[in-house]
């Protein structure tokens, strides 16, 4: 066939057009990818947005006032894409953040300078967060939570916590020197849960133990952590705690609970600040505020406190979960200098059952609502203004790891925010954990469903029909 006749052949023209369209499509695809790479534009299509920083982290980084370096220690070629992508997000949000990836085998001197002060070593896959104030190590085990299937006893990744741990490490470094927190013992108090202590340490608290039966409160104490004893304190212990609170501008977080017997010395300290621990077990009568319709498991009502509860609301917490609390009675007879602000309360439908009612009698009832957590401020005006602060909670279940996990971390976030208020520190940074791909069903909003339905059942068929008509018309008149 002659070249001129070949150009007139329909098959040649259609084939040439198809080839040209394919080349144009490939060129456009390559250009789009080059432009996306040049301007760092990508879309995170994971259901939990694993590769995208949360709003909480964005707000915090936008106000960052010190230089931070993030170093990802990993063997060359073994990098985790999620970490490298998060690094690019951190550096893109704040110009004060510098990121780097180092192979520990190629940079042994760099790693060695941190090992002496890093409890637990620095395994491969760790992230070192450093500033002029010091450094924090986020280990691979910190970046995920491992759960156990109760039926098969097989382990699985329950949540991915990389962003949360890195952001909290940056936040801790911005706070400067850590707060020294003493857990008061000596009267049968249970030790603090290990996971809870680790949480406090990640929030820039150093947790120590002190037997107040044997010695005065250490001068290094920034705050006390008081939990429910199994026996009364004793007058010497009560005197020491009162002296610390009254005379040294003391600060304390107090987690108590119902008891079958009164503890007079513990009562004496609480009454000095206008409080009395209830001798009743609180039952929530509003089923909407109970868990699994159990009146002893309740989600208390929020009361507005600018520096404790409001920050929790703004960070997206929907509630707390308390198990088997009593109430905190506010005494009418108290010092004029004492201000008591409710933080969490029950509904008006709640009631209290007197604990020490004889077994052969119906329990005496007390009508609600009840205070379940309060903030206490006591100001004394002498030569200078002296201020003591306490946060008192009427249940020790606020410390339980399982309860805290079930409520999405709300209980421990409340404790951290309370401890920060005690020290006049800004509220902590809470970043939600992310579920790994496949563990959560894809959820579409009504608008997304309507849009996708319209595209699949409307736009796509009409477009294909129009293309078909166009091709038929071209061939018909060619």
pLDDT at 35 over 80: no
Length of the chain: 478
pLDDT confidence bin for 412, thresholds 50/70/90 = very high
pLDDT confidence bin for 10, thresholds 50/70/90 = low
pLDDT confidence bin for 192, thresholds 50/70/90 = very high
Output phi, psi for 165, to 5 deg: -70, -40
Provide the token pair at 15: 């084939």
Q: What is the percent of the chain with per-residue pLDDT over 70, rounded to a whole number?
A: 78
Average pLDDT over residues 168-193: 90
pTM of the model: 0.71
CB atoms within 10 A of CB 300: 27
pLDDT at 411: 95
pLDDT at 161: 82
Average pLDDT over residues 310-327: 90
pLDDT at 97 over 80: yes
350 vs 142, more confident: 350
The rounded Cα 320 to chain-centroid distance in angstroms is 13
Q: How far apart are CA 434 and CA 403, in angstroms?
A: 19
Whether omega for the bond prior to residue 369 falls within 30 degrees of 0, making it cis, is yes
Average pLDDT over residues 453-472: 67
pLDDT at 427: 77
Q: How far apart are CA 231 and CA 53, in angstroms?
A: 48
For residues 122 and 130, is the Cβ–Cβ distance under 8 A?
no
E-only strand ranges, 31-79 = 68-73
pLDDT confidence bin for 300, thresholds 50/70/90 = very high
Bin 431: left if φ > 0, else alpha if -120 < ψ < 50, else beta.
beta
Could you give the C-alpha distances from 6 to 2, 16, 391, 446, in angstroms and in order? 6, 11, 90, 55
For the segment 124-152, what is each residue's pLDDT rounded down to a tens digit?
Answer: 999 999 998 888 899 888 888 777 766 67
pLDDT at 440: 43
Least reliable range by pLDDT among 35-49, 84-98, 115-129, 192-206: 35-49
Q: How far apart are CA 295 and CA 292, in angstroms?
A: 9
Average pLDDT over residues 300-312: 94
pLDDT at 25 over 80: no
Q: How far apart are CA 191 and CA 396, in angstroms?
A: 12
Q: How far apart are CA 287 and CA 301, in angstroms?
A: 13
pLDDT at 275 over 70: yes
Which DSSP state fits 477? T
Core vs surface per residue 284-294: b (16+ CB within 10 A) or e: bbbeebbbeee
pLDDT at 48: 52
For residues 311 and 354, is the Cβ–Cβ distance under 8 A?
no
Least reliable range by pLDDT among 58-62, 408-412, 441-445: 441-445
17 vs 178, more confident: 178
Helix (H) or strand (E) holding 323: strand 322-323
Closest Cα partner for 354 from 366, 367, 345? Answer: 366
pLDDT at 330: 95
Cα dihedral 228, 249, 427, 135 sign = negative
For residues 309 and 416, is the Cβ–Cβ distance under 8 A?
no
Q: What is the DSSP string of 337-395?
A: TEEEEEEEE--TT-EEEETT--TTSPPPEEES--EEEEEEEEEEESSSEEEEEEEEES-
Provide the token pair at 160: 């991915």
Alpha helices (H) in 423-456, listed in sequence order: 446-454
pLDDT at 37 over 50: yes
For the segment 322-342, what is each residue's pLDDT rounded down to a tens digit?
Answer: 999 999 999 998 888 899 999
Average pLDDT over residues 425-434: 74
For residues 217 and 224, is the Cβ–Cβ distance under 8 A?
yes
- Average pLDDT of the chain? 83
pLDDT confidence bin for 443, thresholds 50/70/90 = very low
Q: What is the largest CA-CA distance in the chain?
A: 115
């Amino acid at each position: 066939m002659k070249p001129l006749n070949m150009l007139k052949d329909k098959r040649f023209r259609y084939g040439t057009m198809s080839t040209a369209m394919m080349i144009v499509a490939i060129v456009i695809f390559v250009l789009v990818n080059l432009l996306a790479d040049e301007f760092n534009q990508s879309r995170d299509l994971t259901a939990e947005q694993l590769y995208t920083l949360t709003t909480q982290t964005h707000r915090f980084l936008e106000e960052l006032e010190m230089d931070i370096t993030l170093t990802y220690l990993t063997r060359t070629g073994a990098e985790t894409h999620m970490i490298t992508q998060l690094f690019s997000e951190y550096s893109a949000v704040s110009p004060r953040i510098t990121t780097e990836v180092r192979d520990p085998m190629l940079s042994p001197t760099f790693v060695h300078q941190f090992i002496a002060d890093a409890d637990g070593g620095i395994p491969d896959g760790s992230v070192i967060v450093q500033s002029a104030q010091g450094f924090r190590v986020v280990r691979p085990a910190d970046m995920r939570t491992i759960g156990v299937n109760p039926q098969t006893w097989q382990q699985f990744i329950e949540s991915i916590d990389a962003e949360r741990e890195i952001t909290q490490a940056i936040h801790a470094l911005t706070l400067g020197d850590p707060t020294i927190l003493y857990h008061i013992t000596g009267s049968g108090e249970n030790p603090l849960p290990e996971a809870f202590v680790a949480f406090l340490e990640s929030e820039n608290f150093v947790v120590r133990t002190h037997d107040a039966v044997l010695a005065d409160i250490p001068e290094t104490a920034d705050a006390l952590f008081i939990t429910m004893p199994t026996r009364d304190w004793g007058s010497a212990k009560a005197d020491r705690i009162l002296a610390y609170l009254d005379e040294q501008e003391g600060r304390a977080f107090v987690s108590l609970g119902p008891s079958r017997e009164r503890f007079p010395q513990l009562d004496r300290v609480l009454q000095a600040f206008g409080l009395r621990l209830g001798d009743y077990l609180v039952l929530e009568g509003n089923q909407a505020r109970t868990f699994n319709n159990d009146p002893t498991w309740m989600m208390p009502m929020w009361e507005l406190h600018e520096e404790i509860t409001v920050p929790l609301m703004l960070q997206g917490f929907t509630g707390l979960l308390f198990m088997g609390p009593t109430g905190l009675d506010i005494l009418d007879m108290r010092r004029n200098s004492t201000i008591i602000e409710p933080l969490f309360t029950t509904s008006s439908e709640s009631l209290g059952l007197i604990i020490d009612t004889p077994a052969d009698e119906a329990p005496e009832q007390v009508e609600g609502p009840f205070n379940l957590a309060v903030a206490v401020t006591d100001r004394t005006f002498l030569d200078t203004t002296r201020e003591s602060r306490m946060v008192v909670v009427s249940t020790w279940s606020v410390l339980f790891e399982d309860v805290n996990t079930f409520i999405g971390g709300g209980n421990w976030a409340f404790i951290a925010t309370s401890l920060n208020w005690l020290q006049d520190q800004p509220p902590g940074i809470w970043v939600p954990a992310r579920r790994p791909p496949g563990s959560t069903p894809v959820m579409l909003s009504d608008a997304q469903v309507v849009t996708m339905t319209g595209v699949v059942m409307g736009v796509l068929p009409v477009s294909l029909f129009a293309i078909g008509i166009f091709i038929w018309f071209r061939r018909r008149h060619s």
